[in-house]
Amino acid sequence: MLHDPEDYPEPEVFNPERFIQDGKINPAVRDPFTLAFGFGRRICPGRYFSNDTLFMTMASILHTFNIHPILGEDGRKFDPETELVTGLISAPTHVPCTVTPRSKKAEELIRQLPSPVAGEA
């Protein structure tokens, strides 16, 4: 249902702008939240927890890191062709960018965290 071209033109194309009009959420575009977690008797009971967790994760990342696109040889933003891997979760195969801590304090905070991979320092 989230790939219906009547609701989402060119559904295979990553285009977040389709949800925005004049800098605000476009009310004419169906909110994916209404379908992504099911509906009726089978609606996901963890949908609010999931959204809140995603929000907190993204807010923490954006608060701690500067994320910039890679610049091309001419000094302009490098915009490579990106393929999507589809499946349970769709994701780009590669997004060239630089990720750096926003400050010395942020870097210290990051270094204090345990490694996400067991046994890795």
Residue with the bigger pLDDT between 12 and 46: it is: 46
- Determine what percent of the chain is predicted with pLDDT higher than 90: 26
Band of pLDDT at residue 120, cut at 50, 70 and 90: low
Q: Taking the model in full, what pTM does it have?
A: 0.62
Average pLDDT rounded to a whole number, residues 22-33: 87
Confidence of residue 11 (pLDDT cuts 50, 70, 90): confident
pLDDT digits (tens, 9 = 90+) for 40-90: 898 999 999 999 999 999 999 999 999 988 887 777 777 767 777 877 777
Alpha-carbon span 64 to 73, nearest angstrom: 28
97 annotated binding-site participant: no
